[in-house]
Amino acid sequence: MSAMTALQIYYWGFLGRNAPLIRILEHTGTPYTHISDKTKFGDVMSKFGAPSDCFAPPVIKDGDYVISQSTACTLYLGRKLNLTPPGYDDCKAMQHLSDIIDVFESGLGKSNEHGPTLKKFLEGGRWSSLMSNLEAGIKGPYYLGEEFCCVDFFLASMVEHRLTSLFEPVKAKYGFDALEGYPKIVGVHAGLAATDAWKNYDTLKPMFGPIKEEILNAYNDEE
Ligand SMILES: N[C@@H](CCC(=O)N[C@@H](CS)C(=O)NCC(=O)O)C(=O)O
């Protein structure tokens, strides 16, 4: 980080793909500025006109260093802020972040706009095989054991996004608990969510509201 300016996070005015970055910065007490003014996005993002290799938010600007992709940004902060405990390996961390994206974005995120599609994804075998794979990557209680690393922040943020918006409503209405059988994944989220910085942070609100009623109501419909 430059000695003169705090690190900057460019992202919309809510907690979405920036969540692991905000959580890491809050937890480590690192000064930062959150820039949500879209007119400033063109200072760093090519999507908004910058002559840059960083396409879309979130973007971190740390002095002259500018980086995008929520996964790469997480690794950057992990390295910078020493969230790389013994046993940490850059390549395995990248694998785990990509695995998390495969589960929560490429998988769940592409199945949650239509009730029967959601049910098929959650209960049809794909969810359990993907989640069991994530579970196997975690030593417990955190990815690398007792100390958490940057990847834990990424997983915990993904779980949190879906907990009240999707997992709890599905469980309450249909009894299917998408997190049952994955105690280490649940534990990573619960452990981090119990930390002071996480509990006390109340600035940005989550991106996802509850799953739409019509999607939830159609969960058991024929495909
Ligand atoms: N793979 C990217 C996705 C970035 C992304 O889609 N950002 C969203 C906000 S969450 C956006 O505003 N994208 C603008 C666009 O793609 O045009 C990441 O993980 O950071």
How many angstroms is it from 147 CA to the middle of ligand 1? 30
How many angstroms is it from 90 CA to the middle of ligand 1? 23
Please tell me whether the overall predicted TM-score, pTM, comes out greater than 0.75 for this model.
Answer: yes
Distance between CA atoms of 66 and 45, rounded to whole angstroms?
Answer: 9
Could you identify the residue written with the tokens 């695995």? 99
Tokens encoding 192: 């981090």
Q: Which amino acid is at 145?
A: G
pLDDT digits (tens, 9 = 90+) for 138-156: 999 999 999 999 999 999 9
Any ligand 1 atom below 6 A from CB of 17: yes
Nearest-10 crossing angle of helices 126-136, 183-193:
60
pLDDT digits (tens, 9 = 90+) for 63-83: 999 999 999 999 999 999 999
Cβ–Cβ under 8 Å, residues 70 and 31: no
Position in ligand 1 atom list of the atom nearest CA 47: 17
